[in-house]
Structure 1
Amino acid sequence: MGSSRTRSLQVFDTELSADTVEWCPLPQYAHILACGTYQLQKDDEKNPSRIGRLYLFQFDQQQSFIPPLTEIQRTDTPAILDLKWCHTEMYGRPLLGMATACGEIQLHALRDTKDGRCLLDHVSSTELGPNRLALSLDWSTGRGDSTDPRMVTSDSTGSLTVLSLAEDNLSAVAQWKAHDFEAWISAFSYWDTQLVYSGGDDCKLKGWDLRMAPSSPTFTSKRHTMGVCSIHSNPHREHILATGSYDENVLLWDERNMRQPLSETPAGGGVWRLKWHPVHEHLLLAACMHNDFHILHCQQATDGNGGPCPILASYILHNSLAYGADWSRLPLTGPPPSSPPPEATPASITLEEPKGHLRIQYESPTASFDTSLEDEYGCYVPDHATAVSAPAPVPDVADNSASLSCLLASCSFYDHMLHVWRWDWRPETETQSGETGPSLSI
């Protein structure tokens, strides 16, 4: 069957509530990690302020006697709702986009210092409009195409804005009302960057063609039953789209047919962020708010065989809302730590049927609403999820390789914690009877 294990490498206290983490996708800077925080200051109840802090870290797995993650910069900012690195170097520098609670999109450029470190410099800011919070952003460069780089953002008024990058400046080329309430998420199709997707607190998933009038969506789906808060286009597999919602489900879609999803996987918590693996096309990382972080194997679903995606691994060491999560491209060269690991998490997840009166409050990072998942009888809504079990045998997740080791980062909100951890997957080459176990490439 093989073994799947997650191990914590380091924990960092961000002091303010942490909600977004992003590894730099450029190979030469794959050791660089950015983390954004969000804190609501209620000193003035009529006009609460929102503050944030941008952290920059470097990861060095060669350091044997000190923690591998080192803080190299911190910058006080407006509260941060989302961070995204441009997938390609632009104008000779890596660029980090930041969505803030004051309705700005900020650009920060990474530079090398004389002492061999890296620092971020603020290079420009673009206002989306008055009285709004910038909630998400995505770059059009997901498949490494640096021609015509653009960004799409969503905000608390339900609007989307498309911005074009020229030198170090972002300029708005289109803005329109897309959702009735908060537009939690916006994303490009990385295969056709004229296509944009959005999800909102009106429970709708919508598509937009930038070549057409943006007032008219190409489709509107109500397949999610609560607010849609995560969307990610698969950069390796054309037409494949992943979406997540407060309804606790991860849906996979074929962009050519948005009437019905390819699969539905109950994740056991509001799915705030989804990230496809930077190399392996069938691995999907999910940050599930009240139910930790999970790695899904999506091959059967994307091949059109339907059914929920098996969960290969879970990271359960956070003690608060699971919000930010990302894969690193940095290869792990050393063996797993020799210290006793946490007990391995089985490749399945089950929610027990609630006993008595259970109430789960879903709070957005903006603290602008609560959602109580409870019916008139005090029962949990949605009802307890069906167990999501991996097929037998568990699929190999490495392309014709004996093992896979991945470096990840995740952060949680109220306990303001950043975790760096690794996931190790190893197949059992022989069974107890001496037979060689089957091997299925991803």
Structure 2
Amino acid sequence: MAWKSRTRSLQVFDTELSADTVEWCPVPPNHDILACGTYQLQKGVGEEDATPSRTGRLYLFEFQREGLMSPPLTELQRMDTAAILDMKWCHMPVSERAMLGMAVATGELQLYTLSESQEGGRSLQALSSLEVGAERLALSLDWSTGRLDSSNVRVVCSDSAGCISVLSLAEGALTALSQWKAHDFEAWISAFSYWDTQLIYSGGDDCKLKGWDLRVGPSSPTFTSKRHSMGVCSIQSNPHREHILATGSYDEQILLWDGRNMRQPLNESPVGGGVWRLKWHPTNQHLLLAACMHNDFHILHCQQAVEGSGEACPVVASYILHNSLAYGADWSRLSLEDPAPCSPPAAEPKESLAESRGHLRIQYESPTASFDTSLEDDAGRYIPEGIPAPSTTPTAGPAVNLDQDAPSLSCLLASCSFYDHMLHVWRWDWTPDKGPQESEQG
């Protein structure tokens, strides 16, 4: 069955500081709430060894579909903070409130609750914070509540010292349960298995993907995989399908795994850019959103790969209107059953490398600026060491075979990019089409 895929920009917002993480609130009735975090490296002035400072800002927005001629985002709050590396909403309310966790450059995990004033306005209020270690950056976090289990709410956090920390949340306060050295360099990412929250996955700049069982203790990992050839920087357990895990790396590959056999991935999908974040769709078990750093944002359909085809996941949609490193991306749970509004003016698409007059130099940086590599081909495109140059856009692959009665999809998404400090809100419409499979960008 052929499908017609279309992405359309709804609004572009300048965050002023470099934007690296966006998160829609998953807790009803706040699906219209969007948080965006920024990270700015301020280099020291004066002495050569002056310590750089890292500052950030947290934005809170409300999305409104009313009024086709007005921008849908309304800014509710902005708060200056330490530089934000990652943030995630708890998947369910805690003490009847939505809760946002942030991993920041001061080495802290910070918690905020979403509160509503008597006038009806919503804002984030600081609740609790805990330092996971001195002289390190907190790099990622994940909640144990991916399948809406509130029996034992915990948070896992990774940091720039290569450590993983597990914390519990009780009566609004964070308590450290355990911490261990997991990776030789930065531990870019950590994540729970949402199906068995005693299992934790971690990925680091040492190119290793590891598993940990909290019942056994962190003395040794349950597995160590070197299947990725560069730093592992994104991991997410599929909340809809047991045992399925997605990982991404600077090596520009997305790997799908069956957690019962971590010796070999189910499949490998090249996406032409370092995979900084991966997000499974909130209700569709087969759709995976990828923020691909140097190669935009893509939605992959993983059904055939999960069922054992061994083939790369086809890309069913791409959003290409950002002009810088694609870092943050997330799905909204807000319904978009109404007709889509007209697209307002958006940032101009990138000038193609072929049309560029000069040699385009791309700096391949981590958000912590802890390394800086520049490898290019004759056209100025980034090439990972020892890996063939990818095409600019991932191959769409064969037509996706879906059930004939599969419904149309209309999804609201947000994405952000780093050096141009831009937040984009956009929609994706995927509808059955009797003609040839096609994809268009609006």
When structure 1 is superposed on structure 2, of 412-421 and 399-408 the one drifting more is 399-408
Question: What SS class does the counterpart of residue 415 from structure 2 fall into?
Answer: strand
Q: CA deviation at 1:395?
A: 3.8
Quick one: higher RCO (CA 8 Å, sep 6+), 1 or 2? 2
1:309 touches 1:388 (CA, 8 Å); kept in 2? no
> What is the aligned counterpart of 2:373 among 357, 371, 374?
371
2:5 touches 2:317 (CA, 8 Å); kept in 1? yes
Identity of aligned residues (%): 70
Q: CA deviation at 1:115?
A: 2.1
> What is the aligned counterpart of 2:177 among 165, 173, 178?
173
Relative to structure 1, the CA distance from residue 414 to residue 394 in structure 2 (aligned partners, 3 Å threshold; closer, same or farther) is same
Q: Does 1:139 align with 2:143?
A: yes
When structure 1 is superposed on structure 2, of 293-302 and 45-54 the one drifting more is 45-54
- Could you tell me which amino acid in structure 2 is paired with residue 101 of structure 1? A
Q: Does 1:39 align with 2:40?
A: yes
1:34 touches 1:55 (CA, 8 Å); kept in 2? yes
Residue matched to 2:292: 288
In structure 1, C-alpha distance between the alignment counterparts of 2:343 and 2:211, rounded to whole Å: 48
2:210 touches 2:222 (CA, 8 Å); kept in 1? yes
> What is the aligned counterpart of 1:63 among 60, 64, 67?
67
Residue matched to 1:121: 125
Residue matched to 1:192: 196
In structure 1, C-alpha distance between the alignment counterparts of 2:425 and 2:136, rounded to whole Å: 32
1:51 touches 1:77 (CA, 8 Å); kept in 2? yes
TM-score (norm. length: structure 2): 0.90
Structural mapping, 1:247-326, within 5 Å: 247-326=251-330
Question: What SS class does the counterpart of residue 27 from structure 1 fall into?
Answer: coil
**Structure 2 residue runs without a partner (length 5+):** 438-442
Q: CA deviation at 1:79?
A: 0.4
1:297-337 per-residue CA deviation (whole Å, 9 max, x = no partner) reads 00011111111000000000000000000000001122133
Relative to structure 1, the CA distance from residue 117 to residue 357 in structure 2 (aligned partners, 3 Å threshold; closer, same or farther) is closer
> What is the aligned counterpart of 1:394 among 396, 400, 405?
400
Residue matched to 2:388: 383
Relative to structure 1, the CA distance from residue 33 to residue 338 in structure 2 (aligned partners, 3 Å threshold; closer, same or farther) is closer
Residue matched to 2:110: 106
> What is the aligned counterpart of 1:94 among 98, 101, 107?
98
Residue matched to 2:14: 13
In structure 1, C-alpha distance between the alignment counterparts of 2:326 and 2:372, rounded to whole Å: 16
Relative to structure 1, the CA distance from residue 330 to residue 202 in structure 2 (aligned partners, 3 Å threshold; closer, same or farther) is same
In structure 2, C-alpha distance between the alignment counterparts of 1:221 and 1:373, rounded to whole Å: 26
Q: CA RMSD, aligned part only?
A: 2.4
- Could you tell me which amino acid in structure 1 is paired with residue 271 of structure 2? A
1:177 touches 1:215 (CA, 8 Å); kept in 2? no
- Could you tell me which amino acid in structure 1 is paired with residue 75 of structure 2? E
In structure 1, C-alpha distance between the alignment counterparts of 2:401 and 2:345, rounded to whole Å: 23
Q: CA deviation at 1:401?
A: 4.3
Question: What SS class does the counterpart of residue 73 from structure 1 fall into?
Answer: strand
Aligned residues: 419
2:22 touches 2:37 (CA, 8 Å); kept in 1? yes
Q: Does 1:411 align with 2:416?
A: yes
> What is the aligned counterpart of 1:361 among 355, 360, 363?
363
Residue matched to 2:440: none
TM-score (norm. length: structure 1): 0.90
Relative to structure 1, the CA distance from residue 394 to residue 108 in structure 2 (aligned partners, 3 Å threshold; closer, same or farther) is same
Question: What SS class does the counterpart of residue 300 from structure 1 fall into?
Answer: helix
> What is the aligned counterpart of 2:168 among 164, 169, 190?
164
Q: CA deviation at 1:394?
A: 3.2
Question: What SS class does the counterpart of residue 330 from structure 1 fall into?
Answer: coil
Question: What SS class does the counterpart of residue 54 from structure 2 fall into?
Answer: strand
In structure 1, C-alpha distance between the alignment counterparts of 2:344 and 2:376, rounded to whole Å: 40
> What is the aligned counterpart of 1:423 among 401, 425, 428?
428
When structure 1 is superposed on structure 2, of 59-68 and 276-285 the one drifting more is 59-68
Question: What SS class does the counterpart of residue 3 from structure 1 fall into?
Answer: strand
**Structure 1 residue runs without a partner (length 5+):** 346-350, 438-442
Question: What SS class does the counterpart of residue 28 from structure 1 fall into?
Answer: coil
When structure 1 is superposed on structure 2, of 235-244 and 402-411 the one drifting more is 402-411
Residue matched to 1:219: 223
In structure 1, C-alpha distance between the alignment counterparts of 2:416 and 2:404, rounded to whole Å: 29
Residue matched to 1:229: 233
